[in-house]
Amino acid sequence: MSRLWRVLSVLARLPAWEWSTNLHPAIGPPWPSSPIERKQFLSKAMSGTKIEWQNGKFVVPQHPIIPFIEGDGIGPDIWRAARNVFDEAVHQTFGEERRVVWSEILAGEKAYAETGEWLPEATLDAIREYRCAIKGPLTTPVGGGIRSLNVSLRQLLDLYACVRPVRWFTGVPSPVHSPEKLDVVIFRENLEDVYAGIEYQAGSPEARKLQSFLVDELSANVRPDSAFGIKPMSAYNSKRLIAKAIRFALTRGRDSVTLVHKGNIMKFTEGAFRDWGYELAAEEFAEHTISEAATWEGASAAGKVVIKDRIADAMFQQVLLRPNEYSVIATPNLNGDYLSDACAAQVGGLGMAPGANMGDGVALFEATHGTAPKYAGQDKVNPTSVILSGVMMFEELGWPEVAEAIIAGIEGAIAEKTVTYDLARQMDGAREVSCSGFAEAIVKHLPQRATA
């Protein structure tokens, strides 16, 4: 018992995020009652190891430490449900061999209540250090000078790619007649364009100064009562986003990358995005890619990723009318924002859409919807968005078996029409279950581990 006490004293001096998940009675599994079980529990909690980044890949130990932010509003409900699915799927797949050591980090309302800060520096440090984290939705604090926490996380951690796969699961209600034809992965630039946040209110000194500069120095025709939003787009950030999309297509066996832009109107920003994309493909991926234009002239695309481009407005038609012609999409920030939600609507809405914010060697997986405050604490909403974000995470970490098991679990639950309210209200004969009930249904349908 005295040894246990010594371990506890050491833990008490560690930063909260290093141990809280495994020991916090409200978050972690129950604190065992017998001393022997407690010892085993503690040694398990301390057995995690950091994920490393080598040669452009995550190097993942058997017991990786993965920080999580449970999020505000419905966040705790969906996180609890998702964590149950993740742990069961890892266990069903790998038995005792592998296990995720979850470790809570704070952001949003919980962070503010406990530390007086919405986004503590320790949270950013933990994500940098442990490289891979997962989060629920965060409230955007209302008030002067406070930025969206999600935007801050992306900017401060240099997470330059927002990755959103959109696919349909059999049985999910959809407003289109062939939702199975849509299976795209959208790579949306995550730091620039409207996310750069350079905006001036009409009549402000900044707006007046800018208006004078544009009229006097650049002979532009701009009304004096104008407001301004500036949309910077750099070759550097556009190219590294497009490179990530092309690498993804190559490693996941996807046949095309489509650059979606509004270059017919914004030639030097959106148009440049398209040009930089073709340039990059020719310079860095010449052996493995081919432009669509070259295929029109008779060149063979066999074994290569076809690089094509579409104007954004036309693309909204394309994903409805000919979705199976698109596989990976790379796009500037604002187009990607619209397009990913429009695509998600075809496959069941935001509750079914996962996302990840990725940089080089750091990734933050997240539910794409908000905190839905009216449902907070009701154990009601659909946890699939954050569960599918976990699927993306396990794929990225090189545990695809776990990802496949979870997908099979989701498919099984939906096939027997055991679903949360959002899907149940659109499905005939559905059995409506709670958020945690849906997680249990997924667990019930996980493929059982073959025992020797």
Residues serving a catalytic function are: 195, 262, 313, 337
**Torsion (CA) 417, 423, 428, 432 in degrees, nearest 10:** 60
Q: Does 371 bind ligand NAP (CB under 6 A)?
A: yes
Helix intervals (H) in 226-325:
235-251, 270-284, 292-296, 312-321
Q: Choose, by CB under 6 A, the member of 381, 393, 413, 439 that binds ligand NAP.
A: 381
CB under 6 A: which stretch of 168-176, 312-320, 368-376, 401-409 binds ligand NAP? Answer: 368-376
The answer to whether 369 contacts ligand NAP (rule: CB under 6 A) is yes
- Report the SS3 class of residue 232: coil
137 scored as a contact of ligand NAP (CB under 6 A): yes
364 in Cβ contact with 185 (< 8 Å): no
Both tokens of 327, joined, read 């596989």
**Least distance to ligand NAP from the beta carbon of 433, Å?**
13
Question: Minimum distance from CB of 81 to ligand NAP (Å)?
Answer: 10
Question: Taking a C-beta distance cutoff of 8 angstroms, is the pair 411, 182 a contact?
Answer: no
Our finding on whether 351 is near ligand NAP (CB under 6 A) is yes
Triad 424, 426, 430: Cα angle to 5°:
35
Q: Return the number of the residue (123 or 382) whose C-beta is nearest ligand NAP.
A: 382
What pairs with residue 167 in β-bridges? 183
Mapped onto helix, strand or coil, the DSSP state of residue 3 is helix
Per CB under 6 A, which region of 198-206, 245-253, 313-321, 381-389 contacts ligand NAP?
381-389
* Residue number closest to ligand NAP, CB atom: 370
Residue span binding ligand NAP (CB under 6 A) among the ranges 138-146, 154-162, 203-211, 257-265:
138-146
Cβ burial, residue 27 (10 Å; 0-12/13-18/19+) = middle
Binding of ligand NAP at residue 123 (CB under 6 A)? no
> What pairs with residue 305 in β-bridges?
289
The token duo for 342 is 């429009």
Q: Amino acid identity of 384?
A: T
Q: Is 343 in the site for ligand NAP (CB under 6 A)?
A: no
Closer to ligand NAP by Cβ: residue 331 or 385? 385
Shortest separation between residue 366's beta carbon and ligand NAP, angstroms: 6
What is the length of the chain? 452
366 binds ligand NAP (CB under 6 A): yes
Q: Which amino acid is at 224?
A: P
The rounded distance, in Å, linking the Cα atoms of 376 and 181 is 34
* Residue 372 binding ligand NAP, by CB under 6 A: yes
The residue assigned the tokens 């995720």 is 100
Among 171, 173, 361, 370, binds ligand NAP (CB under 6 A): 370
Check binding of 140 to ligand NAP (CB under 6 A): yes
Count of residues near ligand NAP by CB under 6 A: 17
Nearer to ligand NAP, 22 or 123 (CB): 123
User: Could you give phi then psi for residue 381, rounded to 5 degrees?
Assistant: -75, 175
- Residue 277 CB, nearest approach to ligand NAP (Å): 27
Chain residues that interact with ligand NAP, rule: CB under 6 A: 78, 137-140, 150, 350-351, 366, 369-372, 381-382, 385, 422
